[in-house]
Amino acid sequence: MVYEITRDYIQVGNARSGQKLQGVKFIVSHSTGNPGSTAYANRNYFHNRQPSASAHTFIDDKYILEIIPLDEKAWHVLYNKPMDNQLFGADANDAAIGVELCYGGNIDFNEAYKRYVWYHAYLCQTFRLEPKRHIVSHHTLDPERRSDPLNAFRLYGVTWDGFIHDVIEAMKPTNPSNKEETKKPSQVKGISVRLPLKLGDRGTFVKEIQQDLIRIGFPLPKYGADGVFGEETENAVMAFQKRYGLHVDGIVGQETLAKLSEVVKQKLRQEEFPLPDKTLKKGDKGEDVKMLQRALKHLGFDPKGIDGVYGEQTEDAVRRFQSMYAALRDDGIYGPNTRKFMRMELQQKK
């Protein structure tokens, strides 16, 4: 092994069921929903908070950290998404390893990326998988809700094809006669996309930018996401820049790309777990209560059922959430202030 793999497993609970995988048929590549959060910060979150979500491995610039044994299930892709079954004949949670890339903040992306590439190569060799056939992005399996790890890659000029190329390169054997060579990490060379993107550019990266613009309300009615950076795309980029207080030039540079990724991420989370606008309390019933219960469960405050009844268990879950913040009264009533902090948590959480 070139890089050390640290195994520090979380306790059995919502995030780690202990159920066994049905063999490893493929790998799902993710990036973390909280940029700047390290591998161990994620490990501690899942260990202590026990949300109904997880991944096997988190990788930053210091650690390749397995938090769930590779022969156990992790909850990293929704079961009701059909693409994993179409591509691999199995649900990702039942037959795949989920790998998360930690990026942003003080994390050195190049070092984290090298470990991320090497670990995918390690998994492919261990489980006899082929990178082009058996590595899939979370975005591919759940494109309406997820953009990872492409959102992280794009910030640093890495394409998906470049990543797969790097994994293949990392799998090539080193010269066993060269002792110094065997001590060095596998060298990876990302296939970069040059920024900024501007009028006249074309390709997969341009298409991804177009898809993101459409998703957050900047339509491209004439040409759509065609992979060509034309006047329609330029106008949409300028409209986006104007709305979010950026320099309006119609060019996608680092600042515009970072803001676009941030807005898309927030949009996806809001769509996934919308919050009711009305005040709710014990005794209330209906779809608004179900909406609240789903959000509470996702945040790790299980109301013990999604039944649409604001009973003692839901009230207790709300109290437990409120107790995290000094600015909230832990009265078990869901109101505007509680909604504000829940929305903040949902935006920060993957």
- 234-283 per-position pLDDT tens digit: 999 999 999 999 999 999 987 898 888 788 877 766 666 788 999 999 99
CATH topology of domain 5-183: Lysozyme-like (3.40.80)
Percentage of the chain modeled with pLDDT above 70? 91
Domain 204-272 is classified in which CATH homologous superfamily? PGBD-like superfamily/PGBD (1.10.101.10)
In angstroms, the CA 109 to CA 102 distance is 8
Average pLDDT over residues 327-350: 87
| CA terminus-to-terminus distance, the chain | 30
Domain with CATH 1.10.101.10 in the chain: 204-272
Architecture label for domain 287-348: Orthogonal Bundle (1.10)
Mean of pLDDT values over 165-184: 65
3-class DSSP state of 20: strand
User: pLDDT above 90 covers what percent of the chain?
Assistant: 62
212's CB contacts (< 8 A; 6+ apart) are: 147, 260, 261, 264
Where are the CATH 3.40.80.10 domain residues in the chain?
A: 5-183
Cα 191 to Cα 18: distance, rounded to the nearest angstrom: 38
pLDDT of 48 higher than 90: no
Mean pLDDT of the region 167-185: 61
Distances (CA, A) of 201 to 198, 255, 256: 6, 18, 16
Are the C-beta atoms of 123 and 17 separated by less than 8 Å? no
> pLDDT for 275-318, tens place per residue?
899 999 999 999 899 999 989 998 889 898 889 999 999 999 99
Q: Are strands 5-7 and 135-137 parallel, antiparallel or unpaired?
A: unpaired
Q: What is the pLDDT of residue 271?
A: 64
Helical axes 204-215 vs 254-272, angle rounded to 10°: 50
CA dist 157 and 252 (Å) reads 12
Averaged pLDDT, 91-107: 93
- What pLDDT was estimated at residue 212? 85
